[in-house]
Amino acid sequence: MSLIRRNEPLDPVDLAAELIRRPSVTPKDEGAIPYLAGVLERLGFTCHTQEFTEPGTEPVLNLYARIGTGGRNLCFAGHTDVVPPGDLEAWSIAPFAGKIEGDALYGRGAADMKGAIACFAAATARFLAERGPGFDGSISLLITGDEEGVSINGTKKLLDWLAARGEMLDACIVGEPTNAKVLGDMVKIGRRGSMNGYLTVQGVQGHTAYPHLADNAAHRLVAMLHALTSAPLDEGTAHFQPSTLQIATIDIGNTAANVIPGAARATFNIRFNDRWSSATLKDWLRRTLDTAGGRYTLDFHVSGESFLTPPGEVSELLTRAVERVTGRKPELSTTGGTSDARFIHRYCPLAEFGLVGLTMHKVDERASLADIAGLTDIYHTVLDLYFPAS
């Protein structure tokens, strides 16, 4: 692992700390994107700050920054918004202080993913300092402030805006904290899909002493949930874990022990692999519930379809860079939650690689200084490999 270099054109730890000090709890920006745009402009980027909104949502700031006008366009993608810090008292260092303690930078977003954005910028700064702005290619940053929230006014709209301008991306690296334990252990090449189901079962209310005059919704719900959970959804696929269905809550709210409930509700979440789409899952759910019998309504919220970007140029590029810098051969994985890669993969080949995810969304989120230096080296190596010096 390389040591932290001073005399860099841009220090990634300083930049990450500055970003952490702007408390951009989703969907607020609090100056994070304008600050980043200022840094990138000083490096020579042309920056387009885009605010998107629609009825019922808060406006969100987004940024597309590009340096270079020709050649292949390598895009670094990520988000400046962060999840709320939760109980402030529980943090050993204030979550928006952007402070170093021991060998780590602490703060909300240090790992997910202001740290990686700082590494994007620092790696590019080093590459430009070495190669000059006249290299044959383009480097861009696609940054949203709406990844941790509803993701309506973020990457999706920014990609539409790029398409409308005829702006092409040739390859993309998403800087989510993909590593499970140590820097270099995991590159993500796809994600499982995620869907919530909201099931309401209708019965007939009645007296528990006269069950023949009622239809117990609780019994029907239990039978339906048993049908949904009694067998695995699948055994997994070449690049994916088995799909899973987890019941999140069962709600009847009946306060009387002598009343048969007339309605019963449950919410469940399904994480699904590339054997399924949300449409085929909906079919399977309805068929399975119909077999169990009873009247019900079933509503859905699909937060993302599963997708796979088969191992290829970008994952190979990242693997080579990771091996060169860390000596580790990263696993190509599709585990974990979803990310904005679910939108970008339709535009260009991509893979995801960032910091270590152990503390993301937790109290005392942090990134080790060595990892920030190492990730900067990895992104810099990616740039060198993608744009070979002629």
Q: Indicate the residue among 112 and 215 with the shorter CB distance to Zn ion.
A: 112
Smallest distance from Zn ion to CB 319, Å: 21
Cβ neighbours for 275, distance < 8 A, ≥ 6 positions apart = 234, 237, 240, 243
Distance CA 177, CA 371 (A): 11
Contact string (CB under 5 A) for Zn ion, positions 159-198, x = contact: -----------------x----------------------
Question: Nearest residue by C-beta to Zn ion?
Answer: 112
147 among known catalytic residues? yes
Q: Which residues on adjacent β-strands are paired with residue 231?
A: none
- Pick the catalytic residue from 147, 167, 215, 274: 147
- Catalytic residue at 377? no
Position 340 contacts Zn ion (CB under 5 A): no
Q: Could you tell me which of 208, 186, 16 has the C-alpha nearest to residue 98?
A: 16
Per-residue interface string for the shown chain with Zn ion, residues 97-126, x marking contact by CB under 5 A: ---------------xx-------------
Residue 273 or 339: the one with the smaller Cβ distance to Zn ion is 339
Which residue number, 113 or 171, has a Cβ lying nearer to Zn ion?
113
382 Rama sector, left if φ>0, alpha if ψ -120 to 50, beta otherwise: alpha
Between 82 and 162, CB nearer to Zn ion: 82
Among residues 11, 29, 81, 170, the one annotated as catalytic is: 81
For the segment 53-72, give every residue that binds Zn ion (CB under 5 A): none
Shortest Å, Cβ 342 to Zn ion: 12
Q: Least separation, in Å, of the C-beta of 106 and Zn ion? A: 17
DSSP 265-293: EEEEEEEE-TT--HHHHHHHHHHHHHHH-
- Dihedral sign for Cα atoms in the order 178, 180, 183, 187: negative
CB atoms within 10 A of CB 7: 5
User: 44: which DSSP letter?
Assistant: T
Kindly list the catalytic residues.
81, 147
